[in-house]
Amino acid sequence: MYKHSTEVFGNFTKHILSNEQSGNKLVILPEFGAIVLDLQLNGVNLVDGYQTPQEVINNSWSKNTVLYPFPNRLKDGTYTWAGQTHRFFTNESHTNTALHGFGQDKSMKVTLMEVEETSAAITCLYTDYASHEAYPFRFSVEMAFSLSDEAGFALQLTLRNHDEQAIPAGLGWHPYFSLGSKADAYKLKMPECRIVGNDERMLPTGKTYEYDDFNALRPLGITVLDNCFELPVKEGKAEVIVQGEKGTLHYWQETGAGKYNFLQVFIPPLRHCIALEPMTCAPDAFNNGMGLARLEPGEMLKGKFGVSFEKS
């Protein structure tokens, strides 16, 4: 049977969904963007998460955080919409770009809690009344987490336009998966995809290229990855397999019209984990339009992704 509990965590409150029998567990902080601190399937922790409240506040590497109203980079922090130019703070100095929007630390309200025999769910909601000068629109973001003995973990993100005009929108998530001490020993299998060409600032050049380096499961070795991949826009799921000493991770994200048709794969410099980041659009989409959603009043951008796990 799943249970819901809470624990004090500095100035925050952890919300915990767990099932002792199956070894599944999810820990989030609704007060800090519903960041995931712990995700366990079959008794194995699968994410590299923050360990202390101060680490959460510092938010180094944006571990396991939600990304909106755009994921990845925005060139010079600027974009033009409906004839008006808007500017975000450029928080990545060496590329002079704005990174990952502004939603990672926003306090969210728990709107749904369900615990059943073999599954559990928690939903969090953030509503913005045009409070950000660089994104002066009314919108909401909903994060619907689910944990299941049969299906594993899933997260559905929904961004809805509450404004009276059309707004630009992109969604993403930034999970870091750990299947052993070194990513070099992991094996990786990618879905059908094309790699997005980057310039020296990690921004798309407008070109994509065939990519088949990991079309079959093989060791990462010393491969360096911090790249965006474009997935075929067809209804269904794109799947990634990562195998390490802990076991085999099956990652998936919905694809198709208005879904997660881009995937960022990143191996941090310490090479202790791998980030598989679902994105509805490419880097700098507010400028280049690659996958950018134009939401009319009342419309929403919604997609789901998740993981299952087989222990070694």
- For residue 157, the model assigns a pLDDT of 98
If you average pLDDT over residues 76-102, what whole number do you get?
A: 97
pLDDT band at 261 (very low <50, low <70, confident <90, very high): very high
Dist CA 202 CA 31 (whole Å): 31
Dist CA 249 CA 245 (whole Å): 11
- Note the pTM of the prediction, 2 decimals: 0.97
> Would you say 231 and 254 are in contact if contact means Cβ atoms under 8 Å apart?
no
Q: Extract the tokens encoding 147.
A: 């944990």
If you average pLDDT over residues 31-39, what whole number do you get?
A: 98
- For residue 199, the model assigns a pLDDT of 97
Return the SS3 of 11: coil
167-212 pLDDT, tens digit each: 999 999 999 999 999 999 999 999 999 999 999 999 999 999 999 9
**Dihedral pair phi/psi, residue 58, rounded to 5°:** -65, -35
- For residue 36, the model assigns a pLDDT of 98
Return the SS3 of 96: coil
CATH topology of domain 66-311: Beta-galactosidase; Chain A, domain 5 (2.70.98)
What's the one-letter identity of residue 128?
Answer: D
SS (H, E, C) 243-305: EECCEEEEEEEEECCCCCCEEEEECCCCCCCEEEEEECCCCCHHHHCCCCEEECCCCEEEEEE
Q: Extract the tokens encoding 177.
A: 């998966």
Buried b (16+ CB within 10 A) or exposed e, 194-221: bbbebeeebbbeeebeebeebeeeeebe
Dist CA 123 CA 34 (whole Å): 9
Q: Extract the tokens encoding 113.
A: 């809690």
